[in-house]
């Protein structure tokens, strides 16, 4: 289970604004975000058990995030869902990542998952269990957890939406400032929804705040390596700006060669 919010195409200078909490078993190790080798360059955390990731950004400005999806029965996945997310981050656009995801989900058995795939041009959610459903993201606030995108029956999604819409978040700074408080909201009692999950062996293990701007120098990536109500966000922005600048340079070089 995870919670992922994307404010999409509302702020001209930052068309993709992300806040996400990751839930996992506490004894499952992972690495903090780093630049992965290969092309295109990818910035993401890495699950040390299966080698995949829960979310990341590549040098072309493609964002991919994944949440576990609640299913009526186990699907006995043959491959890690995080490995699929890592594969999609090697795509050059959201359209290509969508095609790749649907092909892979149709050929290989995975446990239930919800995928968010977005770049500045188009964004999609994929609900995958026994079947796959694609929902195109509309401009605005899109939130997903263990069920459908913007599910009105998901208490945690409802809570996140209410708290994120108390004021107009018309800049990346405002969005990230508010989201950092919302996603650090601690548990208040058993059976009540909260942004941070804390059970005996399972709960919120990290949190991410991301702003993908039109200009690489404006990109922001903050990462909390623990529940954000107890662990400060660290700045990973230099790494994000580095890969986005690389992507822009390569795109310009390619355009000159093709001219």
| Greatest pairwise CA separation for the chain in angstroms | 62
What's the alpha-carbon Rg for the chain, to the nearest Å? 17
H-helix or E-strand containing 80? Answer: none
Domain boundaries, given as residue ranges, for the chain: 2-258
State which fold the 2-258 domain adopts. Penicillin V Acylase; Chain A (3.60.60)
Tens of pLDDT along 176-187?
999 999 999 998
What's the CA gap between 106 and 211, in Å, rounded? 32
d(CA 259, CA 108): 40
CB of 133 within 8 A of CB of 107?
Answer: no
Q: Is the pTM of this model over 0.75?
A: yes
Burial of 178 (0-12, 13-18, 19+ CB in 10 A): middle
CA–CA gap between residue 155 and residue 135 (Å, rounded)? 21
Q: Cα separation of 144 and 150, whole Å?
A: 6
Q: What is the pLDDT of residues 84-141, one digit of tens each?
A: 999 999 999 999 999 999 999 999 999 999 999 999 999 999 999 999 999 999 999 9
DSSP SS3 for 221? strand
Q: What is the mean pLDDT of the chain?
A: 96
C-alpha 134/C-alpha 168 separation (Å) is 28
Beta bridge partners of 209: 19, 222
As a whole-number percent, the residues of the chain with pLDDT over 90 amount to 92
What's the pLDDT score for residue 259? 63
User: Nearest Cα to 83, choosing from 48, 121, 57?
Assistant: 48
Q: What is the model's pLDDT at position 75?
A: 83
CA dihedral 15, 10, 23, 129 (to 10 degrees): -90
How confident is the model over 177-200, as a mean pLDDT?
Answer: 91
């Amino acid at each position: 289970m995870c919670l992922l919010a994307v404010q999409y195409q509302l702020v001209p200078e930052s068309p993709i604004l992300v806040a996400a909490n990751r839930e996992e078993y506490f004894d499952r190790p992972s690495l903090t975000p780093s630049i992965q080798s290969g092309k295109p360059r990818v910035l993401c955390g890495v699950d040390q058990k299966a080698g995949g990731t829960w979310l990341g950004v590549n040098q072309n400005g493609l964002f991919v995030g994944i949440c576990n999806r609640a299913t009526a029965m186990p699907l006995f996945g043959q491959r890690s869902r995080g490995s699929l997310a890592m594969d999609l981050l090697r795509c050059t656009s959201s359209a290509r990542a969508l095609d790749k995801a649907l092909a892979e989900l149709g050929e290989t058995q995975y446990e239930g998952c919800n995928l968010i795939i977005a770049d500045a041009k188009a964004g999609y959610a994929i609900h995958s269990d026994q079947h796959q459903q694609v929902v195109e993201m509309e401009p605005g606030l899109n939130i997903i957890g263990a069920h459908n995108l913007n599910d009105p029956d998901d208490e945690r999604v409802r809570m996140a939406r209410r708290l994120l819409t108390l004021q107009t978040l018309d800049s990346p700074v405002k969005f990230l400032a508010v989201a950092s408080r919302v996603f650090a909201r601690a548990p208040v009692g058993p059976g009540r929804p909260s942004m941070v999950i804390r059970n005996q062996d399972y709960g919120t293990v990290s949190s991410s705040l991301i702003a993908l701007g039109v200009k690489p120098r404006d990109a922001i990536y903050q990462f909390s390596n623990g529940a954000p109500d107890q662990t400060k966000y660290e700045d990973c922005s230099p790494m994000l700006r580095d890969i986005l600048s690389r992507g822009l340079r390569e795109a310009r070089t390619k355009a000159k060669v093709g001219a």
